Chains A and B, each alone.
Chain A
Amino acid sequence: MKDFIIPDRDMGTPAVHSDTIVSLTVDGIKVSVPAGTSVMRAAAEAGISVPKLCATDHVSAFGSCRLCVVAIDGMRGTPASCTTPVAEGMVVHTQTDDIARIRKGVMELYISDHPLDCLTCAANGDCELQDMAGAVGLREVRFDPGANHFMQREAGALNPEYRPKDQSNPYFTFDPAKCIVCSRCVRACEEVQGTFALTIEGRGFDSRVSAGMESDDFLSSDCVSCGACVQVCPTATLIENKVIEIGTPEHIVKTTCAYCGVGCSFDAHMRGEEVVRMVPSRDGKANRGHSCVKGRFAWGYTSHGDRQTQPMIRENIQDPWRVVGWDEALDFAASRLRQAQSDHGRDAIGVITSSRCTNEETYLVQKLARAVFGNNNTDTCARVCHSPTGYGLKTAFGTSAGTHDFDSVDDTDLALVIGANPTDGHPVFASRLRKRLRQGAGLIVLDPREIDLLSTPHMGEGLHLPLRPGTNVAVLTALAHVIVAEKLYDEEFIRSRCDWDEFMAYAEFLADPRHGPDEVEKLSKVPADLIRRAARAYALAPRASIYYGLGVTEHSQGSTTVMAIANLAMMCGNIGVPGTGVNPLRGQNNVQGSCDMGSFPHEYPGYRHVSDAATRTIYERVWGVPLSDEPGLRIPNMFDEALAGRFRGLYCQGEDIVQSDPDTSHVTSALAAMDIVIVHDLFLNETSNYAHVFLPGSSFLEKDGTFTNAERRINMVRRAVTPRNGHEDWEITQMLANRMGAGWNYAHPREIMAEIAMTTPSFSGVSYDLLDREGSVQWPCNADAPLGTPLMHVDGFVRGKGRFIHTEYVATEERTGARFPLLLTTGRILSQYNVGAQTRRTDNVVWHPEDVLEIHPSDAENRGLRDGDWVRVASRSGETTLRARITERVAPGVVYTTFHHPATQANVVTTDNSDWATNCPEFKVTAVQVSPSNGPSEWQEEYRHHSEIARRILPEAAE
């Protein structure tokens, strides 16, 4: 299905929120708007378009172009409608003879310094300058050719004012010749993105848009390639290279980004079956019209040459792949799975669902395990990122999800950011947070590394608590200690919403000096005074919010940390009101959804335990088979069982466990011990090196479904392009299931969603019709909340009373010593995503061609390392080599790297330690030694060799 949607209209200036409503008349039409609204926007509300060039509702009004002037009864002159606020009883005229003359004069001046190559211009048909010339009736330009910015040569000589195109950015081009210096791009960079990379240099006729210093181009500047400037540019000055290459799009498909957990809504601008550009939806409730470099530009992987579109099989993982038809591949897969079960028992096989696939696909994969395999061996990669969030928040509040929506950030007075790096991992949320920080909200960052959020321009002083990796619980408990000791808690909230006696017990627990800032300083290396200041700031802010990431969960005490966070929020009454809350920043696009859909081995959809007879009965009735009441294997347990010879077959959809899971050699030896590994993916990923069946997958552009983002928002994913592999992923799972006797006959993902709604109370109101109508809804969505639930726990916690859980710090077993004196922690970078399977296959590699190791200058000097040197990183698990970057962003004793590139394989080094409650791996703490190196490690050489052999594909036999 294709959606033909006219993009919503630009109202000229941003919406204003006010309780006071003002009425005025525009061109004889009465209109009422909130006080503070501009005359321009009021006119737009009345359906009247005032000509404009510098104004757009993405950024605040600027009043520079003078095209939007109007006449207002009783006011002198012709005020700019974009900067003039409405007043009660105002009478506005947008079209008079005087105004027409002024506008025509303004346009004439603009056009006198603009090339008239409209027919061959990339913005032809999508140019506001062109539109405005038409709107004001400009018919001639009376000025003689003179000094200008657009002619390369004048009278044979080079034009000193001319500047060539800047094509340094791989995704868009900056052509100064077309620039009208409206400053929209500069303002978008500041107000929307918050990077402040662009500026106007010079004055008057010399004014030019500049990406930083004169020596800078867009690539070398601070620009993060978010696309906000391109989006607001009214001309062809900043324009997508794809539009230059292809031309104007002819229809739009509304969909959802397939990268991080922010879940931005996008308008896919299409020409036929070709994507021309992805533009963030202005009505997108998560992103409000903003985007980052990944969602906006990095979708080229969907048509990359590495994309596999045909099924393949092989007897052994040493053999080359043999391309076969779907029937042969599925028969091979199904019979091997059944064989493994008949040889080794019903529990010998399992599935891994994907946090990158849709809810509907995930639901089918877990159903395959439960209803067709007859066991509960289903897990998701959320295991290795946010499983402690699910467990921790369910225990404290009663729901395995974040409490607030992203809009809530606009109301926060202070954000406490823990173990997250939003400007890289969740860039669009970071931009929204930065906007609030510039408005004066406070910031506390708990992170071993000095993250970019701390250097947000024009914010006040942020507090950075650079704790030693692995001491989250100690520091958070110390914050609670200070809040209780200084009686900064919200007694009324605790008495009404929690159990007072339970709180008193926790207060008594906290009172022990071992939880005090002075003791905690010794193990966390965070100065006690800083802990006290942070505790006071969080407790005293009227509305304080907590945002956290994998730096919280990926620890041996991940679940305890989540509970400590919940305690802090509850004791300060920061729940149930906008601007507060406990908000996990989910890693992948559908982490929330994959958990909701019953991917975990112990829980059916909606987080109901497999031993719960009532729930089991529902599914036994709907699925028509008896179901197991025994919890299945988690991902790390699958590997252990595989090495023990009891787990023999795996269907892995859309995940690259070899690269993303810890202790790589443990993972690869487990996979190598299995009889049948089925990889269902876009590419021959690292895991496929150990697979016997490869089922080609479909990209997010090629299928219908839904993703659920970090705010529980269920967003539509819509098919814009025919699947290159011939089938949407849910169809492939259905074909495999039916080969094993399932008898499924879903014709469309909407039918799968209907089954989810029928069986899951928190989804009972969800349907594709509702989603098409509303754009998106946040679960719970049911009879009590027919349009979903933006804020949870408003009048009471889902579990009844909020629960205070004691949070004793237990040091991780991963300790530094003489052999491994440094602590390695891992993270990600803006331009790359997760294992990089997608982003490495786009031009994003210009920003991050390889993983590097960040190391403090003193640690580097002790080891004789210089910036850019090859270094060997070794842990108890393994070793790898990469280049060093010397920086003070990491504290002495701590080193940091990313895991985007398989050649580096940072996870060769990480260990099998895991969270006590959920087995979420302890990616964030590994004791390592770093030493000079002159080349790849032995493991890297071996792996490269196997990887080359395992990726061979036999040429198809000529007929």
Chain B
Amino acid sequence: MSDPASKLIRMAGQMADFFRSQPDRPPAEAVAAHINDSWTYRMRADLIAALQAGAKADPIVRDAVAFITLPQDVPRGA
């Protein structure tokens, strides 16, 4: 079993694996859109925090962070 943050990064990485081969839109935006659609804001915040803290991830996932939205009252980054 893996710790929660690396699990989120792994899930996002799986999305990157799918969207990198899609021709219709930049993969980072597509990954972020999918995450915005299907993850809770806490999971999104945790992912952003982990990446900002320097966790390793697929470059697409790193780029996706810019497009991941959070509710106004949730601070961006840990």
By a beta-carbon cutoff of 8 Å, the part of chain A in contact with chain B is 347, 505, 509, 556-557, 559-560, 601-602, 609, 611, 630-634, 637, 640-641, 643-644, 646, 663, 666, 805-806, 808, 810, 813, 877, 912, 914, 916-919
> How many angstroms from the CA of A643 to the CA of B20 in the assembled complex?
32
Verify A916–B40 contact, CB threshold 8 A. no
Residues of A within 8 A of B10 (CB): 813
In this complex, the interface size class of chain B, counting residues with CB under 8 Å from chain A, is 20 to 34
Bound form: Cα–Cα A917–B22 in Å:
14
Q: B21 and A666: CB pair below 8 A?
A: no
| A556-B15 Cα distance, complex, nearest whole Å | 10
Is the Cβ of B4 less than 8 Å from the Cβ of A640?
A: yes
Q: How far is the CB of B7 from chain A (nearest CB, A)?
A: 7
When the two chains form the complex, which single residue of B11, B17, B21 contacts A509, counting CB atoms closer than 8 Å?
B21
Q: Considering only CB atoms, which chain A residue lies closest to B23 in the complex? A: A505
Q: Are A919 and B11 in contact (CB under 8 A)?
A: yes
Residue among A611, A631, A632, A644 with most chain B CB within 10 A: A631
Known A916-B17, A916-B18, A917-B18; contact A602-B37, beta-carbon cutoff 8 A: yes
Q: In whole angstroms, what is the CA distance A94 to B42 when docked?
A: 78
Q: How far is the CB of A452 from chain B (nearest CB, A)?
A: 34
The reply to whether B21 and A808 contact each other, CB–CB distance below 8 Å, is: yes
Once the chains are docked, how many angstroms separate the CA of A556 from the CA of B41?
23
Contact partners of A646 in chain B: CB under 8 A = 42
Bound CA span A806–B25, Å: 12
Q: Is B71 part of the contact surface with A, judged by Cβ < 8 Å?
A: yes
CA distance A602 to B41 in the complex (A): 12
Q: A559-B18, A810-B18 are in contact. List 5 more A-B contacts (CB 8 A).
A: A347-B40, A632-B40, A641-B42, A813-B10, A912-B1
Shortest distance from the beta carbon of A683 to any chain B beta carbon, whole Å = 29
B52 contacts the other chain (CB 8 A): no
Task: Using CB atoms, name the residue of chain B closest to A876.
Answer: B1
Q: Are B71 and A630 in contact (CB under 8 A)?
A: yes
Give 20 CB contacts A-B under 8 Å: A347-B42, A556-B14, A559-B18, A602-B37, A602-B38, A631-B38, A641-B42, A663-B1, A806-B22, A808-B18, A808-B20, A808-B21, A810-B17, A877-B1, A912-B7, A914-B11, A916-B11, A916-B15, A916-B17, A916-B18
Query: Judging by beta carbons under 8 Å apart, are B17 and A631 in contact?
Result: no
**Chain B, residue nearest A808 (CB):** B21
Q: How far is the CA of A458 from the CA of B18 in the complex (A)?
A: 42
Smallest CB–CB gap between A303 and chain B, Å? 41
- Alpha-carbon distance A156/B40, docked complex (angstroms): 82
- The B1-56 residues at the A interface (CB cut-off 8 A) are 1, 4, 7, 10-11, 14-15, 17-18, 20-23, 34, 37-43
- A916-B15, A917-B18 known; A637 vs B43 contact (CB < 8 Å): yes
Shortest Cβ distance from residue B33 to the other chain A in the assembled complex, whole angstroms: 11
Report Cα–Cα, A409/B19, bound state, in Å: 35
Instruction: For residue A256, give the distance in angstroms from its CB to the closest CB of chain B.
Output: 32
A252 to chain B, nearest CB (A): 45
- CB–CB B22/A631 < 8 A: no
From DSSP, what is the main secondary structure of chain B's interface residues? helix
Do A631 and B39 contact each other (CB < 8 Å), given the known contacts A806-B22, A912-B7?
A: yes
Tell me if A560 and B18 are in contact (CB < 8 A): yes
How long is the Cα–Cα vector from A560 to B21 in the complex, in angstroms? 12
* Complex alpha-carbon distance, A611 and B35, angstroms: 13
Max chain A Cβ within 10 angstroms of own Cβ: one of B14, B22, B41: B14
Binding site for A on B (CB under 8 A): 1, 4, 7, 10-11, 14-15, 17-18, 20-23, 34, 37-43, 71
CA of A914 to CA of B11, assembled, Å: 8
On whether the beta carbons of A630 and B41 are closer than 8 Å, the reply is yes
A630 proximity list for chain B (CB < 8 A): 40-41, 71
Q: A633 — which chain B residues lie within 8 A by C-beta?
A: 40
- Which residues of chain B are within 8 angstroms of A810 by Cβ–Cβ distance? 14, 17-18
A633 CA / B41 CA spacing, docked (Å): 10
Least distance between A88 CB and chain B CB atoms (Å): 60
* Separation of A631 and B4 alpha carbons in the complex (Å): 19
Task: Give Cα distance in the complex from A524 to B29, angstroms.
Answer: 32
Determine the chain A residues whose CB is within 8 A of the CB of B4 once the complex forms. Answer: 640, 643-644
Q: Closest approach, in angstroms, between the C-beta of A791 and any C-beta of chain B?
A: 28
CA–CA, A505 and B22, complex, Å: 10
A509, A556, A640: the one contacting B7 at CB < 8 Å is A640
A509 to B23, CA, bound (A): 10
Contact call A917/B15, Cβ cutoff below 8 A: yes
Contacts of A805 in B (CB 8 A): 22
Q: Contact between A916 and B14 (Cβ–Cβ < 8 Å)?
A: yes
Q: How far is the CB of B73 from chain A (nearest CB, A)?
A: 11
B66 CB to closest chain A CB (Å) equals: 19
CB distance from A376 to the nearest CB of B (A): 8
> In the complex, what residues of B have CB within 8 A of residue A917's CB?
15, 18, 34, 38
**With the chains together, A305 CA to B34 CA distance in Å?**
47
Q: Which residues of B contact A631 (CB under 8 A)?
A: 37-40
CB-CB < 8 A to A601: which residues of B? 38, 40
Residues from chain A with Cβ under 8 Å of B20 in the complex:
808
Q: Give the top 5 A-B pairs by smallest Cβ distance, nearest first.
A: A916-B14, A808-B21, A810-B17, A806-B21, A916-B15
Task: Give the distance in Å from the alpha carbon of A641 to the alpha carbon of B17 in the complex.
Answer: 25
| Nearest CB in chain B to that of A918: its residue | B38
A610 closest partner in B (C-beta) = B37
Enumerate chain A residues within 8 angstroms of B22, measured Cβ to Cβ: 805-806
Assuming the contacts A912-B1, A919-B11, asked whether A609 and B21 have C-beta atoms less than 8 A apart, the reply is: no
| Chain B residue with the shortest CB-CB distance to A391 | B38
Contacts of A877 in B (CB 8 A): 1
Cα separation A813 to B10 with both chains bound (whole Å): 10
Docked-complex contact A806 and B1, CB < 8 angstroms: no
Given A631-B40, A916-B17, A917-B34: A806 in contact with B23 (beta carbons within 8 A): yes
Which residues of A lie under 8 Å from residue B38 when comparing CB positions? 601-602, 631, 634, 917-918
* A338 CB, min distance to chain B CBs, angstroms: 20
Which of B1, B43, B71 neighbours the largest number of chain A CB atoms within 10 Å of its CB?
B1
The interface residues of chain B lying within 8 Å CB-to-CB of A919 are: 11
Closest Cβ of chain A to B47, distance in Å, is: 12
Interface centre among B20, B40, B43 (most CB of A within 10 A): B40
> How long is the Cα–Cα vector from A916 to B73 in the complex, in angstroms?
29
Q: Give Cα A914 to B14, complex, Å.
A: 9
Shortest C-beta distance, A341 to chain B (Å), equals 15
How distant is B2 from chain A, measured CB to nearest CB, in Å?
Answer: 8
For the complex, what is the distance from the CA of A646 to the CA of B41, rounded to whole Å? Answer: 13
Q: Provide the residues of chain B in CB contact with A641, threshold 8 Å.
A: 42
* Distance between Cα atoms of A557 and B14 in the complex (Å): 9
The answer for the CA separation of A601 and B14 in the assembled complex, in Å, is 20
Closest to B37 in A: A602
A911, closest chain B residue (CB): B1
| Residues of chain A contacted by B23 (CB below 8 angstroms) | 505, 509, 806
In the complex, chain A residues whose CB is within 8 Å of the CB of B71: 630
| Residue in chain A with minimal CB distance to B12 | A916
Cα(A813)–Cα(B15), bound, Å: 13
A637 with B18: in contact, given A912-B7, A919-B11 (CB under 8 Å)? no
A residues within 8 A CB of B40?
347, 601, 630-633, 637
Complex CA gap A918/B11 in Å reads 10
The CA of A519 and the CA of B39, in the complex, are separated in Å by 36
Nearest-neighbour CB distance to chain A for B65, whole angstroms, equals 18
Q: Which residue of B lies closest to A609 (CB)?
A: B37
- In angstroms, Cα B34 to Cα A609, docked, is 12
CB distance from A117 to the nearest CB of B (A): 66
Minimum C-beta distance from B18 to chain A (A): 5
Q: How far is it, in angstroms, between the C-alpha of A825 and the C-alpha of B53 when the chains are bound?
A: 38
Give the docked Cα–Cα distance between A813 and B2 (Å). 13
With A and B bound together, what is the CA distance between A637 and B38 in angstroms?
Answer: 11
Q: How far is the CA of A634 from the CA of B20 in the complex (A)?
A: 25
How many angstroms from the CA of A177 to the CA of B1 in the assembled complex?
63
| Residues of A with C-beta under 8 A to B37 | 602, 609, 611, 631
The docked-state distance in angstroms from the alpha carbon of A828 to that of B15 is 30
**Contacting residues, chain A, for B7 (C-beta < 8 A):** 640, 912
Q: How far is the CA of A912 from the CA of B3 in the complex (A)?
A: 12
- For B1, what are the chain A residues with a Cβ–Cβ distance below 8 Å? 663, 666, 877, 912
- A918 CB contacts on chain B under 8 angstroms: 38
